[in-house]
Amino acid sequence: MKNKSLFISLPILVLLYISCNKISENVERDIIFKDSVFFDIPVLSSITDPYTLPDLQSAVSIGDQINNQVKGFTTDHIKQIKITSLNMLLGITEKDKNGRDSIDTQNNFGNLETVKWEITNGADTNLVGSASVSSTGVLSTLAIPLSIPPEILKPYLIGDTKKYRVIVKAKKATSKPMKVKTMAIYTVTLAK
């Protein structure tokens, strides 16, 4: 009876050992981080020609984000990178009649017809997302629908040459620059 129990338990222990080794070899972790970029959209006098802003440098290092959030992983372990949201926020540019901060009713995202976001690494450029602005009302926030797949995004974000390129087209001319803060949220999947 003892031999029979030992005969059955030995293969089970071997299978458990092999399974545990496989599990430790296939560890995946997600990290999430934000990238904020500040810029000005200058006065837009033309409603026929799009305006391309100078390239905007991202200040976030994915390597630093990995080191700060998880141990034992590096950029070599990146399986994929996704942008999960991209939002533009208009800065406060004037005071209302009561002295409170207010959005400029004549110079806001409602003046824009389209906004395109691209990412570049100096050699290649790819569209991240674009928005058509149908409202003519006062808009202080704008969510950019995303179109870039994770497998295309990864090469742009590894290294120090990543920059964003923003192209805007006005449907109504503006008279003042618009101060903009953009927040991109990234999810990076790491695998060993």
Query: What confidence tens digit (pLDDT) does each residue in 163-181 have?
Result: 899 999 999 999 999 999 9
Query: Sign of the C-alpha dihedral, residues 41, 44, 47, 48?
Result: negative
CATH of the domain at 87: 2.60.120
Q: Is residue 99 part of a domain?
A: yes
User: How many distinct structural domains can be found in the chain?
Assistant: 1
Query: What confidence tens digit (pLDDT) does each residue in 71-119 have?
Result: 899 999 999 999 999 999 998 766 677 777 778 888 999 999 999 999 9
Give the per-residue pLDDT at 121: 83
pTM: 0.79
Q: Is residue 12 part of a domain?
A: no
